Structure 1
Amino acid sequence: MPLLAHTAAIEQIYEQHHSWLYGWLKGKLNDACDAADVAHDTFVRILAARNAADIREPRDYLATIARGLVIDRYRRSAIETAYLQALATRPEACAISEEDRVLIIETLMAVDKALACLGARTQRIFMLSQIEGLTYQQIAVQLQVSLTTVKKHMIRALTECALIMAQH
């Protein structure tokens, strides 16, 4: 799609639907700043997609993108909270810079994204190994599967995590 047509379509969608999207998000999020951020991010996504002239139902399209962004925000918040809780339980005082904290949260988000693409058994095996600290043999016994099965699922999980991390 020519850039000029894409830009013109974005302008039209923005002018006609931005205030509706902002109001809709404000009602969902109960926070004007978060609503403004998600509305902005929604239009950034449309800009990057370069398909604005093909959008036939702008409100449905905007709402779909915004819902995904809101889910991403909640997921990130949950991961960040879990990380901070885990950090607080550590016996030694641990001073982490804001930059390092952001990098750690982004890494955890990437791992979460990688694991979301895997099956429930692979996720469970990965968590038992990496979070609970169980050996592959202990996992095999607990889940009543073979050691080979545990290894196969760990290879899949670690490969997916490595692929996601290579993209960052």
Structure 2
Amino acid sequence: MTSLSSVWHARPALKAAVDDLLAHYSDLRRYLCGRLRNPDDAADIAQSSFAQAYAHALNAPVINARALLFQAARNLCIDQHRRRSTELAALEDWLARADWLSPSVEEIMIAREQLQHLIARIERMPKLRREVFVRVRLHGHSHREVCEALGLSAKSVELHIARAVFDLSELRLASRHD
């Protein structure tokens, strides 16, 4: 089992590099707090900067610990800014689409009015035509089920549905001209 103290004894240059990094850590935190205006983000980036600098110190000699630490922090700040800009753009895009997908009050009122006209037109249909249309188109019954339930021929059911659809298409054409 390797302890941290044995690593320090085996690599005195590493201990010196870590001591240098730690000596600049509070300066880095102050710098990041001023730059980011958010102490939590500053703490996160300072910690990540230290981890990156330490990883570098494990593999290569550290010439200037302060420069290494601050450059890592600058790079992490840039990465964070890019990531947040992308997230913000995605959020703005989503919100723009959500507004587009949401009907306005006026559109809701128009749709309600159209629905009322549709219901009124269906209610004005002859009783048998209305019954056949409602069973097939609204309740999803098969033609055969409607034939059996109402005692009609298949041709008669098709004719009633065709006439009902024609009645409703006239309503649609009339609404386009308004």
Into which bin does the TM-score normalised by the smaller protein fall?
0.3 to 0.5
Q: Which has the higher contact order (CA 8 A, sep 6+)?
A: 1
- Larger Rg belongs to: 2
